[in-house]
Chain A
Amino acid sequence: GAVVSQHPSWVICKSGTSVKIECRSLDFQATTMFWYRQFPKQSLMLMATSNEGSKATYEQGVEKDKFLINHASLTLSTLTVTSAHPEDSSFYICSARTSQETQYFGPGTRLLVL
């Protein structure tokens, strides 16, 4: 149990385009999901907390207009990187919180912006 998927697993896009990443909890409902970003040889840095049916809470320094988060159902949260630039290239990982308060992570999405 407690499986989280992400799609796509990797994406390459041109600078200025937008990219949508999906995070799904496959066998449980998650009212809360988290989005993290991980640069090479660095730890996971929390970007935002996504709550079903309400606006996401962004961490300091994360542009909410650039990283759009939608949590429209109990099993799906999406992160859209708008007008992507090369410095947005990173490994984006989501996690979903179970009813037992533990977090399970998705496999991550590797984004490369050219």
Chain B
Amino acid sequence: QKEVEQDPGPLSVPEGAIVSLNCTYSNSAFQYFMWYRQYSRKGPELLMYTYSSGNKEDGRFTAQVDKSSKYISLFIRDSQPSDSATYLCAMSVQAGTALIFGKGTTLSVSS
């Protein structure tokens, strides 16, 4: 079993839809959880950074962490064509240490 599991998709939605992206993990020691967006042939861009369980909202993005289930989610409201990218979850045991990434989910938002 890999440390971090993420459905690679692809996920296709119409513009305006609510998108739900998820990752599961096996290491209960993970405490720091991140979501990155990566456009084709570009480096990952940090979207959300959360510590331990709970919710965090930033504009159209909401990140949820459920440590009891070892499950994290990213919700995108009112999705836009510009949101079309690959979304990577990442996590670490300690702040600032090397990240363990999921495989990434490819999202396509059609206008």
Q: Which A residues fall within an 8 A CB radius of B? A: 4, 6, 32, 34, 41-46, 49, 91, 93, 95, 97, 101-108, 110
Interface size on B, residues (CB 8 A): 21
Stretch touching chain A among B14-22, B60-68, B95-103: B95-103
B47 to chain A, nearest CB (A): 12
**For the complex, what is the distance from the CA of A32 to the CA of B44, rounded to whole Å?**
18
A-B CB contacts (within 8 Å), total count: 49
Given contacts A41-B8, A43-B101, A102-B49, whether A32 and B43 have CB atoms under 8 Å apart is no
Query: Across the interface, which residues of B come within 8 angstroms of A108, CB to CB?
Result: 41-43
Measured between beta carbons, the chain B residues less than 8 angstroms from A42 are 103
Contact, CB under 8 Å: A105 / B36: yes
- State A106–B45 Cα separation when bound (angstroms): 9
- Contact (Cβ within 8 A) B103 A43: yes
Bound together, the chains give a CA A103 to CA B99 distance in angstroms of: 9
